[in-house]
């Protein structure tokens, strides 16, 4: 098969539509594979080349939006044409923000999808090898001399899809052209209803001037494939989490796991002697700390100690970004305990640890970006440009990092979806934890521990409403947040 033949992947749960669309595209010269759902598509793209993705948005299980987020997080970013039988103006705007290249309203004519694919990839070379071509002529079977370069003013011949992909490993986002929502009557050509594909039948949103893109997607790819290293987590972290999920763990079991790491023990003793716990006499042993604080509180504090070195960086420009992230994390984790006690039905130690790990994808992306392009951190608009990159990529990146660290599925899934809706329904208990985690992060940002532009003015109403409270209640819980860092020795 010629490498110049573009490889398309059609993802749709309706078999008749999927096979009909694939057959039409093969007939006009593209190589086409099919997947019946988002998970199958992601698995296929891990193993095979895809130059363009035709994606149905509404599928059972993981939907098209979830797949788009996963692809961005993993650095798998072919052009995407979204397809849907229902859409609103808000849906189309959301697709623009997700980086989708084009949209087709179902049902659409074969000519319409052909025009979209050709605009994104260039004209096909002819019928796909899956549909035999006529035998080439004798003249065509011999190699030809290279074509002379174009003269001034003459357009260059279009590059092959493979060449374009090689030339743009991390392409800037293209302006999205949206297909008009509406259906046309008339006869049909094959299973796809016929519809005009003229340029007047399409509308375009104006492109906006954007600065050169940060290399955040490249960082995500590097972290995923191992070319960019992420800090390792102390081996006891997974054991600590196992005991946190087991409320009946004995003192001896807790001592056995925590005492394996001398650094963790020393840090726990420092915390146990801090003003926050108000010890009447010095705490000199781990056994005494467990007796005073409780086994599970020691375990959750140990997780904070284990995670802290991951945020430890020395370069001033990187530290200026990472240290505020850690301060927000510590404050949010402390506040989450208070929220859990007020809301009820949520375990304070479990939610404290959930807060500690839920945003680790942001840290991983920032550290990865530093490895690729430290000069970008000195730009005056760096943080402003970083905001949309982290918003789009950090959840799936966090899930990937926590999986690599061997942490439980509950933490992985919370990292994967804490701002956006989860791909699978949560249990009531898991949803309660997620609500408290997001409220705690919001409260910390509003209390003076924002680390990105716009976070200090976050609207708390959506998250507090889920807890049956309001923004004033949340702000009250975090009113003394500044003193928390000083009490725990994190005020520097």
Element (H, E) at 117: helix 110-121
The CA distance from 358 to 333, in Å, is 10
The CA distance from 484 to 352, in Å, is 14
The CA distance from 339 to 447, in Å, is 15
DSSP three-state, residue 473: helix
Please give the pLDDT value at position 110: 85
Q: Are residues 62 and 189 in the same domain?
A: yes
- Would the pLDDT of 177 be above 50? no
Please give the pLDDT value at position 279: 56
Cross-strand bridge partners of residue 103: 82, 178
The model's pTM? 0.60
| pLDDT tens, residue by residue, 224-245 | 888 998 888 888 888 888 888 7
Please report, rounded to a whole number, the percentage of residues in the chain having pLDDT higher than 70: 77
Residue with the bigger pLDDT between 36 and 213: it is: 36
Give the lowest-confidence range in 50-64, 149-163, 464-478.
Answer: 149-163
Q: Are residues 303 and 393 in the same domain?
A: yes
Instruction: Return the closest-CA partner of residue 411 out of 247, 297, 240.
Output: 240
Can you tell me the mean pLDDT for 174-194?
A: 33
Q: Are residues 175 and 252 in the same domain?
A: no
| pLDDT tens, residue by residue, 410-434 | 999 999 999 888 878 889 999 999 9
- Would the pLDDT of 120 be above 80? no
Please give the pLDDT value at position 256: 87
DSSP three-state, residue 478: coil
Please report, rounded to a whole number, the percentage of residues in the chain having pLDDT higher than 90: 35
DSSP three-state, residue 203: strand
- Would the pLDDT of 387 be above 60? yes
Q: What is the CA radius of gyration of the chain?
A: 27
- Would the pLDDT of 178 be above 90? no
Q: What angle do CA 37, 33, 112 make, to 5 degrees?
A: 90
DSSP three-state, residue 192: strand
The CA distance from 227 to 229, in Å, is 6
Instruction: Return the closest-CA partner of residue 314 out of 231, 383, 395.
Output: 231
Q: Are residues 193 and 226 in the same domain?
A: no
Element (H, E) at 402: helix 382-404
Instruction: Return the closest-CA partner of residue 322 out of 164, 452, 410.
Output: 452
Instruction: Return the closest-CA partner of residue 336 out of 453, 455, 217, 441.
Output: 441
* Domain closes at, from 210, 236, 251: 210
Instruction: Examine residue 142 and state whether it is found in any structural domain, yes or no.
Output: no
Neighbours of 140 (CB within 10 A): 8
* Domain closes at, from 150, 183, 210: 210
Q: Are residues 183 and 304 in the same domain?
A: no
Please give the pLDDT value at position 490: 60
Please give the pLDDT value at position 274: 74
Please give the pLDDT value at position 11: 96
Instruction: Examine residue 144 and state whether it is found in any structural domain, yes or no.
Output: no
Please give the pLDDT value at position 448: 95
- Would the pLDDT of 154 be above 80? no
Residue 460: which domain range? 219-487
Can you tell me the mean pLDDT for 204-212?
A: 42
What are the phi and psi torsion angles at 54 (to 5°)?
Answer: -105, 115
CB 439 within 8 A of CB 408: no
Q: What angle do CA 114, 21, 131 make, to 5 degrees?
A: 85
The CA distance from 120 to 102, in Å, is 9
DSSP three-state, residue 179: strand
Q: What angle do CA 255, 257, 260 make, to 5 degrees?
A: 100
The CA distance from 159 to 91, in Å, is 33
Angle, in degrees to the nearest 10, between helices 316-343 and 295-307: 160
Instruction: Return the closest-CA partner of residue 389 out of 86, 149, 99.
Output: 99
Q: What is the CATH number of the domain that holds 475?
A: 1.10.3210.10
Residue with the bigger pLDDT between 92 and 50: it is: 50
Instruction: Examine residue 286 and state whether it is found in any structural domain, yes or no.
Output: yes
| pLDDT tens, residue by residue, 293-339 | 777 788 888 899 899 999 999 999 999 999 999 999 999 999 999 99
- Would the pLDDT of 153 be above 70? no
Residue 5 CA neighbour count, 13 Å, CB half? 19
Residue-averaged pLDDT of the chain: 78
Instruction: Examine residue 193 and state whether it is found in any structural domain, yes or no.
Output: yes
Q: Are residues 118 and 258 in the same domain?
A: no
Q: Where would I find the H helices in 344-454?
A: 348-358, 360-372, 382-404, 409-416, 428-444
| pLDDT tens, residue by residue, 66-97 | 898 888 777 777 889 999 887 666 667 677 77
CB 101 within 8 A of CB 80: yes
- Would the pLDDT of 443 be above 90? yes
Q: What angle do CA 66, 72, 78 make, to 5 degrees?
A: 105
Tokens representing residue 449 in the block: 């521990």
Give the lowest-confidence range in 166-170, 251-255, 272-276, 332-336.
Answer: 166-170
Largest CA distance in the chain: 96
- Would the pLDDT of 157 be above 70? no
Q: What is the CATH number of the domain that holds 120?
A: 3.40.50.2300
Q: Are residues 193 and 293 in the same domain?
A: no
Please count the structural domains in the chain: 2
Q: Are residues 252 and 400 in the same domain?
A: yes
Give the lowest-confidence range in 43-57, 230-244, 338-352, 370-384.
Answer: 230-244
Q: Give Cβ neighbours of residue 202 (< 8 Å, ≥ 6 apart).
A: 177, 178, 179, 180
The CA distance from 105 to 59, in Å, is 15
Q: Are residues 373 and 277 in the same domain?
A: yes
Instruction: Examine residue 151 and state whether it is found in any structural domain, yes or no.
Output: no
CB 483 within 8 A of CB 329: no
Q: Are residues 178 and 291 in the same domain?
A: no
Q: Are residues 332 and 229 in the same domain?
A: yes
* Domain closes at, from 193, 210, 227: 210
Q: Are residues 97 and 240 in the same domain?
A: no
The CA distance from 17 to 110, in Å, is 12
Tokens representing residue 30 in the block: 């593209």
């Amino acid at each position: 098969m010629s490498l110049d033949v573009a490889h398309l992947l059609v993802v749709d749960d309706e078999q008749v539509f999927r096979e009909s669309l694939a057959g039409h595209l093969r007939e006009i010269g593209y190589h086409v594979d099919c997947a019946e759902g988002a998970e199958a598509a992601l698995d296929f793209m891990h193993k095979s080349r895809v130059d363009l993705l035709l994606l149905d948005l509404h599928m059972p299980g993981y939907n098209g939006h979830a797949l788009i987020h996963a692809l961005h997080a993993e650095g798998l970013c072919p052009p995407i044409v979204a397809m849907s039988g229902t859409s609103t103006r808000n849906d189309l705007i959301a697709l623009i923000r997700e980086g989708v290249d084009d949209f087709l309203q179902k049902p659409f004519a074969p000519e319409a999808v052909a025009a979209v694919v050709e605009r994104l990839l260039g004209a096909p070379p002819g019928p796909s090898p899956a549909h035999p071509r006529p035998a080439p002529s004798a003249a065509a079977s011999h190699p030809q001399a290279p074509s002379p370069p174009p003269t001034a003013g003459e357009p260059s011949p279009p590059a092959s899809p493979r060449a374009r992909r090689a030339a743009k490993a991390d392409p800037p986002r293209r302006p999205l052209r949206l297909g008009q929502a509406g259906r046309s009557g008339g006869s049909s050509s094959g299973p796809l209803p016929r519809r005009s594909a003229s340029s007047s039948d399409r509308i375009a949103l104006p492109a906006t001037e954007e600065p050169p893109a940060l290399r955040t997607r490249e960082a995500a790819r590097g972290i995923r494939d191992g070319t960019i290293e992420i800090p390792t987590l102390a081996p006891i972290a997974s054991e600590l989490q196992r005991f946190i999920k087991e409320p009946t763990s004995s003192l001896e079991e807790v001592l056995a796991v925590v005492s394996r790491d001398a650094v963790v023990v020393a840090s726990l003793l420092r915390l146990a002697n801090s003003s926050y716990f108000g010890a009447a006499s010095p705490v000199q042993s781990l056994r005494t700390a467990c007796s005073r604080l409780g086994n599970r509180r020691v375990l959750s504090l140990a997780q904070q100690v284990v995670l802290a070195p991951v945020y430890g960086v020395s370069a001033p420009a990187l530290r200026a970004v990472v240290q505020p992230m850690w301060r927000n994390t510590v404050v949010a984790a402390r506040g989450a305990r208070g929220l859990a006690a007020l809301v009820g039905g949520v375990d304070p130690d479990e939610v404290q640890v959930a807060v500690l790990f839920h945003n680790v994808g942001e840290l991983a992306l920032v550290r990865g970006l530093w490895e690729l392009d430290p000069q970008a951190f000195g730009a005056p608009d760096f943080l402003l440009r970083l905001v949309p990159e982290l918003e789009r990529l950090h959840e799936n990146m966090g899930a990937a990092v926590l999986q690599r660290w061997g942490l439980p599925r509950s933490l992985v899934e919370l990292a994967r979806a804490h701002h956006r809706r989860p791909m699978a329904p949560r249990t009531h208990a898991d949803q309660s934890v997620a609500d408290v985690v997001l409220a705690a992060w919001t409260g910390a940002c509003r209390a003076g521990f924002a680390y990105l532009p716009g976070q200090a003015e976050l609207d708390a109403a959506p998250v507090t409403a889920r807890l049956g409270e309001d923004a004033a209640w949340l702000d009250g819980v975090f009113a003394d947040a500044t003193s928390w860092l000083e009490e725990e020795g994190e005020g520097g």
